[in-house]
Structure 1
Amino acid sequence: MNGVTVLGAGVAALLLTAVSTRPLGRLALRWGITDHPGGYKTHERPIPYLGGVAIMLGTIVPFAAVVGLDDVRVTAIVLAAAAVAFLGLVDDFSPLSLLIRLAVEVVAATGVVVGGVQASLTESWADGPLTVLWIVVITNSFNLLDNMDGALGAISAAGAACLAGTAFVCAQPAAGVLLVTLALASLGFLPHNWAPAKVFMGDSGSLFIGFVFACSSTLLVTGKGTGAVIAGLLLSTFVATVDTGVVLLSRQLAGRPLLQGGNDHMSHRLRRIGLGTRATAAVLALMAALTGVLGLATALNWISPLTVAVAAVGAVLILIGLPQRVRVYSSDRARSRPATILERRR
């Protein structure tokens, strides 16, 4: 597989997503698949979903045209990711229960693990269930990360591009092409989602992106030692991991329901200290790019995996703790709405 072919797949992904997003948004408006203002959300008019469908098509169609079904493990990732995206699409139509969502995600993740994608943390039977748990947690972490205009699209474009480089270095060309098409599809979606957003990706997009990131990062550390596994998994999903940690810790400390939606994510805290919406998305994307480059350097053996693993764990803990200084809750700790794992928007 030569560079021209990979570049062609990426360009096709960008164009397909960029061209299809607006028509899908109009279709969402016609069908009433929109995110309505209210509560902790900041937009003042209904914003259509289905941008995630454009991202999924832009990722999968060029990938399938170039790679086909030759790589069993990557094919398992693509098929399972499509199933998870469909789950998100159904949820965008009509919210599903947490049990149904988790059940589908567990089945999809199990299919990927059975297909040969597994992180070796304990070198025992427990690695399978632990990998499934990791995939499900990270998938939902990316889902929760979609909470501000342009944020997840920018993070996905930057992070997937770096992870694609790591895939090619690790002699995983099929995964590399998948990540290239995801990066360029996310980039093609950004003009429609950059603040002020005209279209949202919805759960179909955020779950799809999260699942591909979780499974691809796991694939790239399959068969490697513990240090390489920890470094690879944390660096490729760094922003989502930190964001989820920040939210869960702050809600625990404040005595609030852990799964309640609200403006207490990393993006909202950056806004609180003076950054605009676009600047916030750019900062988070830069963080994803920096950790992605560090992961690539580790794959190239420029840095010891164990050293990077220790540094990554330390950085995660520090970055979960520091944002707690930014005040995001009112003194009366009022509950804005019932607890749910689906933090729809803003």
Structure 2
Amino acid sequence: MNVLGIIASGVAALFVTVVLAKAARRAALRPSVPHDPSGRAPRTRGRARLLRGAGGATVVLGVGAAVGGGLVLGVAGDAAGPVAGTLAGAGIVAVLGLLHDLRPLWPVLRLTVQSGAAVLVVCLAGLSPAAAVMAALWIVLVAGAFALLDQSDGALVAVGLVTSAGLLACAVLDGGSGAALLPAALIAGLFGFLPHNWRPARLHLGGCGAQFTGFVLASCGALTQSAAPSGRTAWAALPALATVALADLALVVISRRRARRSPLRDSGDHITHRLRRLRVTVPGAAILLALWAGVPVVTGTLVYARVLHPALLLVPLAGTVAAVLALLRIPAYAAPSRPKARRAPADRTQAVPAPVPVPGGTRRAPAAPVPVPSTGTVPVVAGPVRPAAPALVPGATAPADAAPPASGGTGTARTAEGRPTVPPPPTGRSGAPVAADRS
């Protein structure tokens, strides 16, 4: 194994990633558009999408440059073909993710391109037809599962670091430089990108970096298993390294199936989203995922090194199943809001009392008493209020200084002494005796 070459490739990947990430961060913090005198809001949606993809592109360029330089210098040795195929397939998937960041693509198109990239990897690896089919399916499945972890700041980067460390340890146990070159460069690239992706994140992996990272991890696992000696239990140890990614995928599929949602439609139902509903902070969720991934990674590596029995892999598997069942109890989808019943608006118009017929004339019925609020203020009633005009009593004459009658009605009738008259009772009796009694 060319240890110095692998270390040099890792240092190169770290340096390139840090430099490019700083440049991308400055571009992200720079004001997008100068102030427009016309008052129009600047269009920053396209720029935000571009910067989101640029964050993942820093990891792609850093790891790709380091691995490409290692291939030129002969660090990979006899495994140069599989490593070159993996790098080419990961580059194709990264370009696809960058296009998806700029403009969302159809899921069928993305799945087709990822399958073609996986076929390229297994063809250059020189596997048998049956092993090639199984390896291609594994790469597509695990690459998509790892890419789905990019739902929270630092989550995919933390899990990717732990998984890459396990793959590097397995490659070192076998003594293959080619199998160790890609994990070493990926560890360096993710480590240089982690400060910019930690909470609060200034840069994100996006579809470009997430697809690249997942594809490299899945391809390294498939290549390590194909090159493992016969005495290694690689068929059981290496799949355990992807336990967290597969658990998140299973959680999402089961949740959307039970809720009758489309499995291709992204929703807030991943592990990080459910941990947030349990009041776990964003950095805490990333740390919990890293610790969760560390248990099966350490167990799988020790099983691969023949230190532990393969049956002990059932312990982290049972814990993962229990964790998924517990996370399924956390509600992930908001209940549909029911439309509130609208109340009929209160009729604020005051009903006009109907006129009451009386002998000798007409007058309006007295209006209902207006309730006074507790504040002591009397509400204002719109419209003029007319006093009721009593009918003129037979035999009484109005004084000369009486006010002229209002338009359309009669004036107030008064007696000779100047007193107002009293309307006759409803029995038809004359009102003169009543007036005489009051005088």
Q: Same fold (TM over 0.5)?
A: yes
Are the equivalent residues in 2 in contact too, given 1:221–1:232 (CA < 8 A)? Answer: no
**Aligned counterpart for 1:182 among listed residues 182, 186, 191:** 186
Give me the TM-score of the superposition, normalised by structure 1. 0.83
Task: Measure the CA separation in 1 of the matches of 2:319 and 2:176.
Answer: 28
SS at match of 2:125: coil
206-215 vs 21-30, greater mean Cα deviation: 21-30
166-175 vs 224-233, greater mean Cα deviation: 224-233
2:301 is the counterpart of 1:292:
no
Task: Measure the CA separation in 1 of the matches of 2:47 and 2:214.
Answer: 21
User: Residue type of the partner of 1:18?
Assistant: V
Which residue is 1:256 aligned to? 261
C-alpha deviations, 1:111-135, integer Å up to 9, x for none?
Answer: 11112265xxxxx854432321221
CA radius of gyration, larger in = 2
Distance 1:117 1:207, change over 3 A: farther
**Aligned counterpart for 1:83 among listed residues 81, 88, 92:** 92
Which residue is 1:106 aligned to? 115
Which residue is 1:128 aligned to? 132
C-alpha deviations, 1:10-65, integer Å up to 9, x for none?
Answer: 22222211220132355678793425xxxxxxxxxx96331111111221212222
Distance 1:226 1:239, change over 3 A: farther
Are the equivalent residues in 2 in contact too, given 1:158–1:289 (CA < 8 A)? Answer: yes
2:336 is the counterpart of 1:322:
no
Which residue is 1:246 aligned to? 251
Q: Which runs of 5+ in 2 are unaligned?
A: 33-43, 339-439
SS at match of 1:134: helix
Looking at secondary structure, tell me which structure has more helix per residue: 1
Task: Measure the CA separation in 2 of the matches of 1:193 and 1:55.
Answer: 12
Question: Which 4+ stretches in 1 moved above 6 angstroms?
Answer: 28-31
Which residue is 1:151 aligned to? 155
Give me the TM-score of the superposition, normalised by structure 2. 0.66
Q: CA RMSD in A?
A: 2.7
Which residue is 2:381 aligned to? none
Whose RCO is larger (CA < 8 A, sep 6+)?
Answer: 1
SS at match of 1:50: helix
Task: Measure the CA separation in 2 of the matches of 1:223 and 1:319.
Answer: 33
Q: Which runs of 5+ in 1 are unaligned?
A: 36-45, 119-123, 335-346
C-alpha deviations, 1:282-310, integer Å up to 9, x for none?
Answer: 111122233222222122111233x1454
Task: Measure the CA separation in 1 of the matches of 2:231 and 2:17.
Answer: 37
208-217 vs 260-269, greater mean Cα deviation: 260-269
User: Residue type of the partner of 1:232?
Assistant: A
Are the equivalent residues in 1 in contact too, given 2:156–2:210 (CA < 8 A)? Answer: yes
**Aligned counterpart for 1:95 among listed residues 96, 104, 109:** 104
Task: Measure the CA separation in 1 of the matches of 2:52 and 2:102.
Answer: 11
Task: Measure the CA separation in 1 of the matches of 2:149 and 2:292.
Answer: 14
Task: Measure the CA separation in 1 of the matches of 2:192 and 2:51.
Answer: 18
Task: Measure the CA separation in 1 of the matches of 2:174 and 2:15.
Answer: 28
